[in-house]
Each structure stands twice: as C-alpha cells, then as structure tokens.
A and B are shown apart, each in its own frame.
Chain A
C-alpha cells in the first residue's frame, strides 16, 4: 500500500465522475494540441516555402494572391507579366537573383511549373531517380507528386489547362503535348514536393498550340506565339520575338537589404507590375488565421477549466464523505503532509492521465484532419510531429489539477481527528 495506490483506489471508486472529468480535460487538451500542431506546422511550412525570397514580382492584383499563387502555389495567379518587364527586373542593379515562373497547367491537381533548375535548387531538391529536365516537354516530379500519381522516370503524361483544385474538372486536356518524365526528386519538405517542374518554354509551347487551334484562356501563363528563348523549340521559333512572351511571376532575391526600401516602389511604378513581400504577406496570413485559432484555443481552455472545476467539485464533495477516512489515516500515523499529498496525487493523477489522453487524441485528430482535407494535405500537416510546447500543455493541465485540489487539500490538512472520529458517521 502506498499513497499512489491509495489515490488510485479512490479514483476507481468514483470511476464515473473521474472518467467524465478525464474526458473533459482530454477534449480540451486535444483541441489545443490540434491548434498547436496546425499553427506550428503551417508557420513552418509557410516560412520554409518563402525563405530566401525577398520579393515576388507579378501582375497587378491582390498582393496576398500573388504570394499565395506563386510562392505557396495555393491560389490562382493574378495574371501574367510581359517578358520585357521581367527582363527589366532581372537586370535591375538592386536585384541579386531571380527565378522565373510560368504557370497555367496542372496534372491531377498538381501544378506544372515552368521555371529553371535554380527553382529546384532553391528548395534543396535532389534527385531520387533519373535526371533534371534538359529539354522542353521534359518534366521532373516532386516527391509527393510521384508518390500520389505513381508515375516514374520514362512515363509520360499530359497537362490539363487550369490549376484548379480538382485539376481535371472542366479543363482542356493538352493531349498533343505530352511531357516525358526525366527525374523524380527526394522529399524536401517544401512546396517543391507537390509541383511538376518543367522548363518555361515547355509551358509556352503547350499554349502556343492552344493559340493556333483557336482556344483562348483568361489566365494562360503564356498563350502567345514566338521564339523560344532557349532555342529548343524548333517548331515554334518562327513567329514572334521574346517581347511577346509572358511570365507569371518572378521570385526575386535582393542585392542588399537596402533594396527593400526602393525596389518595390520602382516595380510598382512600372506598368502592370506589382511587387509583394512574402515575409509580410505570410505574417498577415498568420495573423488573419490567428483570430480564428485564438477563438478555438480559448474554447479549448474553457474545456480545460471546466474539467478543473469538475475535478474540484468531485474532490470537494468526495472529501465531505472522506473526512472520516482522512481523520482515520491521521489516527493510523499519517502526517498532515501525507494527507495533503494524498489529495494532490489524486488530482494530479487525473490531470496527468487526462492530459496524456488529450495529447494522444490531438495527434490522432491532427493526422486524420491532415490526411482528409486537400488544403491540409497541401500543407503536409501531420500528427506525427511533437512539439516542446506540448510538455507545457501537460504541465498546465497538471497545474489546473493541483489548483482544483488546493482547497480540498487544505481541508485535509485541517482535519480535526478526534472530533471527526468521535462523531462517527
């Protein structure tokens, strides 16, 4: 026999109320855990995807949309910018480096991104299989794309016009321009995993065809004809010059931090161009989502507090009947401190069990939610990561348990042995 087993025996005796309080606490902790996991992973993903990109230049529109579409590949693009303007940005003395992006098509919901090898390099992409694309109409799959589609090196596929969520729904199939897969990337933990990487001229080429056959699209990455800047595309370099080509966006790295002062304004003053800073937009996004999360978090804490109250009421009522037991324990030689520990252990045990159960539930829920919704799939949210803050959560829950046990514990401390035992029950 010891205090721990004694407390356990009492919990077992009041199993129903103990279990109810346990569940209440577990639900509260689970809610908070899910939010913790989500906001942390979201923040991590967003900052990972946006890292190293000081500014994005694209067509005018909502700067948030520009960042969402060209950095995180979530929203639709704001439009296209003329290659000529892109060149101007690339040659600007305050610009250190740029990565061009040409969007417009997708395959089974995964976006086909026309860019350069440096885009893959930017996210630390390394090949799991095959080689990087060298020619037009060659493609390199991100790890997740390969996993989901089951495609591999040597396979071919055709893009679908449009980059809507469903991908294949309603879009026109570019079935006369199949891509050949030359490589598959290792997972990078970034947006690159769920993209299909091709050359910029590939995207142009697919849409040149559209133009020739009379299709028109609002948000084509490149639906003009013209010479391919790399000169690969013999078939199409007969018509126009570079000046008619378009890009969707340009990811820009500043020459120096000072560029942030003047460059965005310069960009915004130039024709249809718009500059947006990923860092700022990401912060804004987190702030917007933060409001909703705070509400849910408050709800979680209300559950935790309710559980604490339940534990308190349970202990308080139980102790009315247990005054005899407590007095008896004193008569058997237990010190006041022992009785206080006994009551505290009981509450702590309950809180600890509730917190651990809550953490487990939270992780399972996060994993299920992460697997279920497309948005959370895109952000690659899982329940299999563990955060330091969760230890704090456990500590806080135990703190709530101890708070709830405080008044009953003081009562136990003050037990007047002789009087209670003499009175009988």
Chain B
C-alpha cells in the first residue's frame, strides 16, 4: 500500500509543486505520466524519501514517512525502496557484484554473494559480476542498475525515465525486466516517464497536470 495526500513540495527557490491525492495497492504497476515540469520526478523523489514535502502525508507500507527522523528515513529507504535512476549512478570504483553488495551493506542486510549472483543471472548478466561499470554497455549497465534496485527485495520500486534513451527493442526489454522483477518481489512499481510507450506495459496510469 502506497499513498500521498495533500502533498505540497517547496523547492529552496520557492517553486511549489502541488501533487494530487493518490493511492496504489501493493503489487500494482503504475505509469506516472505528464508533461515536462508537471512534478513526476518530484513525486518519485518524495516517495523514495529523497525529498521531504512541506506539508501533507506520504504513506508507504503503512509507514508515515513524515514521522521518521533523518536516520530512520535513510534506513527505511535502504530496506523498502529500490530506485532506478535515469542516469544509472553505478559506482565506478567497484565491480558489478560489489555495487550490488554495497546496496545490501547500506541497507544493513546480510551480504550473500550467491544471492547477488542469482539476481544477476535472472537478469542475464551473471557473467559480468567482476566487471567494473565502465566496462559495460549502456544496456548492460541498465540491467545492473535494475539488479541493484531489486537486490534488497524492496516493497516499492521507483524508476525515473528508464526508457527515454532506449530504442523500441530495448524499451520492451527493460520494461519487461522491470515488470518481472517487481512481480518477483511482490513490489509496487512506479515508473515516471513522458514516454507514452511505457503506458502499454503498466496496469495503471497517473496523469499529472502541467502547473504554472
């Protein structure tokens, strides 16, 4: 279960983003659509606990995010939320396996190499475990980022523009993997995008309105 109510976010320069009330059942797959500047990324960051709204309520898995202090929010994010960034943000200093183990470490979860290798295998990149990110193709790197988002078996997977730079075939593949992985964890999936192709892969859509 995941929901927002009366949420307003205020950027430091005073820009305010008002978000509609919305709520999603556990395991649902949502596409977050809307024109540029409509607040898709803002909403995603709020759900991920990366931004704190000025007012309103954010509930994930029955947990009020506003009620958590910073340290607790960090821990909650590590345990319950998997994020796939548009620019993938893999750690270049570490190989693929250690990138995934890093996610386990910061979430305070036991580090099991077999589990890591299992996830990599499921995504078809089991043979890349010892490569560093700069030795990967864009598509391979995308899968590693996806693997990292699901390695902690989160209850919510958030993805911001995962397909914007991809061609039709790659788009299909990535959306397929995202959907499969989310189903495997039983996680709620929220994909923010302006890419209309994404809509076809998701059960639900939330349209954000353009704001001034």
Contact = CB atoms under 8 A, between A and B. Distances in A.
A335 B93 contact: no
A9 B75 contact: no
A1 interface: yes
Interface string B62-74: 0000000011001
Interface residues of B, number: 33
B87 A1 contact: no
Interface of B: 41, 45, 48, 50-51, 70-71, 74-75, 77-79, 83, 85-87, 89, 91-94, 98, 101-108, 111, 148, 160
Contacts, number: 82
Contacts of B148: 332
Nearest to A417: B50
Interface string A7-29: 00110110000000000000000
Contacts of B94: 1, 6, 9
16 contacts: A1-B98, A1-B102, A6-B94, A13-B93, A330-B74, A331-B85, A333-B75, A333-B106, A334-B78, A335-B75, A336-B70, A338-B106, A418-B45, A421-B50, A421-B85, A424-B86
A337 B71 CA distance: 9
B41 A422 contact: yes
B89 A324 contact: yes
A-B complex: 9 closest residue pairs judged by Cβ atoms: A333-B78, A424-B87, A1-B101, A418-B50, A332-B106, A334-B106, A333-B106, A9-B93, A1-B105
Q: Determine the main DSSP class of A at the interface with B.
A: helix
A148 interface: no
Contact of A335 (B51, B74, B85, B104): B74
Given A1-B101, A9-B93, A9-B94, A329 B106 contact: yes
A1 B41 contact: no
B93 A331 contact: no
A270 interface: no
Contacts of B75: 333, 335
Given A324-B89, A335-B70, A336-B70, 6 more contacts: A325-B92, A329-B102, A331-B48, A331-B50, A418-B51, A425-B87
